[in-house]
Chain A
Amino acid sequence: MINFQYLRADTQKKAIDALAKDASAQFIAGGTNLVDLMKKGVTSPQRIVDITHLPLKQIEKVPGYTRIGSLALNSEVAEHELIKNNHPLLSLALQAGASPQLRNMATVGGNIMQRTRCTYFYDTEMPCNKRIPGSGCGALQGYNRMHAIFGASDKCIAVHPSDMCVALVALDAKVLVSGPKGNRRIEFEDFHRLPGNDAAKDNVLQQGELITGIEIPDHPFTKNIHYLKIRDRASYAFALISVAATLDIQNNVIQDVRLAMGGVAHKPWRLPAAEEFLKGKKVSEEIFREAAKIAMNGSKAYEHNAFKLKMAPAAIIESLKIAAKLD
């Protein structure tokens, strides 16, 4: 790892100032993604700003919302009574990610900001528009089994690897951000972006902006929920496909529904057309099949990931069935 200067921020303002002044500086929280990438030489910040001493660890209920500080640990959020009771989907998604040790280090902010696990991004001998803009996309003609089936461009077909973010986009969370120009609140759906012509940018955060927390609005989804994660082994692996499904069912009729997928796009992928279709319908396997078909509109496979075109709808149906307790 190339050496760097270490700074510890004791106030939010100092953290933001340090990054705003220096484009080569980066925040560090749990370090589980940043240290990994620095060892590989994928990123080499000259200065690292330790934000772990900032008071951003709270998990609390406020009227209308649950607010979670960006430095709350993935394990603490997953096991917190407030989250298990009010947002069980988030607990399930967090527990499906990484390992117990990593979840004890990983923070909410770091999880949102984690980079893709595309092997061409990680291998500095390979072209990658995300790592070196203009160098090309190694995965496009390469081994692309893990890659996107929605929203990709010829500049980048990588996927966002987070499980937590799939639950958060389904739950209409907001990302709370503080930066040199003040505070802003970003809809989770708008936080991560599609690669388009600028694969280097994963999200809309500006240099110097710090994620201070997230807010999850109150919702009725506590009973009929499921997070299905399909991976190459039973645990401790990134998703090939994951599906967050939540239903609000009254008298066997779907009042409201949220659906989102992981492992399929450059961002956590919400399925609004399938949700619209399901609203007001009676629960049945047939309508879940129909919804899965609708969800797959616009999907596109590459040489090695065509299996995802079959796996994704099957996963949507399965996740909805488990959430609806059909069987």
Chain B
Amino acid sequence: MDKKVTTPIHSSARRNFLKQSSAMVALALAPPTILKAGDKKVEDQIAGYFEKVPVKLEINGKAHALSIEPRVTLLDLLREQLHLTGTKKGCDHGQCGACTVHINGKRVNACLTLAVMQGGNKITTIEGLANGDELHPMQEAFIKHDGFQCGYCTPGQIMSAVACVKEGHAESDDDIREYMSGNICRCGCYTNIVDAIKDAKKGGKSL
């Protein structure tokens, strides 16, 4: 794990005090220490803004105890702090699906998910699909059917496709097209993606 993530950024004692007290506020919502609009001192305000929040979560089966700035999205946490760059940033606004990951088995857009809200959750990314050197059946199917060209949308497509089959939304071509509509492919590999999903589903291996 990246050391920088767990080391407090503030060195002064005052900052550390603020960090601790603010973390308590953040978790317990204790009213007396909540800063009131209007009576905040600028320093307090600034220190408060940059406080990191402790978060424990599981990513691809591995437990992480992290310290995260509230504004960091799950996507940026994965890519920038944990260097799991398989999950892609396309639009960063929920419009393309490149950042699709599973949270507790459900597919979501990591770009619109705040990492601090994921405490206790199990996250699966494209890096967590394969079993060692053995590819996941959906990964194999995408290769077999040429389900990509540039490959940028592919991790999101595959994460979405696995969920699509598990949800029972891959019963027909139309069904697949509708339930894969949250993943845009700029290279236009849609027909091959549909074929790959049908094949992986038919293969009957556990997805």
Interface residues of chain A, those whose CB is within 8 Å of chain B, are 1-10, 14, 17-18, 21-24, 28, 30-32, 35-36, 38-40, 46, 48, 50, 52, 75, 98-102, 104-105, 234-236
Which of B70, B97, B163 sits near A4, CB closer than 8 Å? B70
B53 touches A6 (CB 8 A): yes
**Quick one: closest A residue to B28, CB to CB?**
A10
Which residues of chain A come closer than 8 Å to B163, judged between CB atoms?
A: 100
| Docked pose: A35 CA to B110 CA in angstroms | 11
Q: Is B48 an interface residue (CB 8 A)?
A: yes
Which residues of chain B come closer than 8 Å to A48, judged between CB atoms?
A: 70, 114
| Docked pose: A4 CA to B26 CA in angstroms | 11
Identify 22 residue pairs between A and B in the complex whose beta-carbon atoms are under 8 Å apart, listed by A's number.
A3-B69, A3-B70, A4-B49, A5-B26, A7-B29, A10-B29, A18-B29, A22-B37, A31-B117, A35-B73, A36-B112, A38-B71, A46-B37, A99-B109, A99-B182, A100-B179, A101-B97, A104-B107, A105-B108, A105-B113, A236-B181, A236-B184
| Docked pose: A35 CA to B75 CA in angstroms | 13
Which residues of chain B come closer than 8 Å to A39, judged between CB atoms?
A: 92-93
Assess A32 versus B112: contact at CB under 8 Å? Given A52-B117, A101-B160, A236-B182: yes
Output the residue of B31, B107, B112, B181 with the most chain A CB within 10 A. B112
Which of B26, B36, B164 sits near A6, CB closer than 8 Å? B26
Within the complex, the shortest CB–CB distance from B93 to chain A, in Å, comes to 5
**Beta-carbon contacts of B147-191 to A below 8 Å, as 1s and 0s?**
000000000000010011001010000000111011110000000
| Docked pose: A244 CA to B100 CA in angstroms | 31
Which residues of chain A come closer than 8 Å to B160, judged between CB atoms?
A: 100-101
Interface residues of chain B, those whose CB is within 8 Å of chain A, are 22, 25-27, 29, 31, 34-37, 45, 48-51, 53, 69-71, 73, 92-94, 97, 100, 106-109, 112-114, 116-117, 160, 163-164, 167, 169, 177-179, 181-184
Chain B binding surface SS class? mixed
B182 touches A102 (CB 8 A): yes
| Docked pose: A112 CA to B34 CA in angstroms | 29
Q: What 5 A-B pairs have minimum CB-CB distances, sorted nearest first?
A: A99-B182, A235-B181, A6-B70, A3-B49, A236-B181
B92 touches A99 (CB 8 A): no
| Docked pose: A22 CA to B109 CA in angstroms | 30
Which residues of chain B come closer than 8 Å to A3, judged between CB atoms?
A: 49-50, 69-71
Output the residue of A5, A21, A98, A100 with the most chain B CB within 10 A. A100
Assess A5 versus B94: contact at CB under 8 Å? Given A31-B114, A102-B182, A236-B181: no
Which residues of chain A come closer than 8 Å to B27, judged between CB atoms?
A: 8
Which of B45, B93, B97 sits near A99, CB closer than 8 Å? B97
Within the complex, the shortest CB–CB distance from A225 to chain B, in Å, comes to 19
Which residues of chain B come closer than 8 Å to A100, judged between CB atoms?
A: 107, 160, 163-164, 167, 169, 179, 181-182
Assess A235 versus B178: contact at CB under 8 Å? Given A4-B49, A5-B49: yes
Within the complex, the shortest CB–CB distance from A41 to chain B, in Å, comes to 12
A32 touches B94 (CB 8 A): yes
Assess A5 versus B114: contact at CB under 8 Å? Given A32-B94, A101-B100, A102-B182: no
A5 touches B48 (CB 8 A): yes
A36 touches B93 (CB 8 A): yes
| Docked pose: A31 CA to B167 CA in angstroms | 23
Which of B25, B37, B113 sits near A7, CB closer than 8 Å? B25
Which residues of chain A come closer than 8 Å to B178, judged between CB atoms?
A: 235
A102 touches B37 (CB 8 A): no
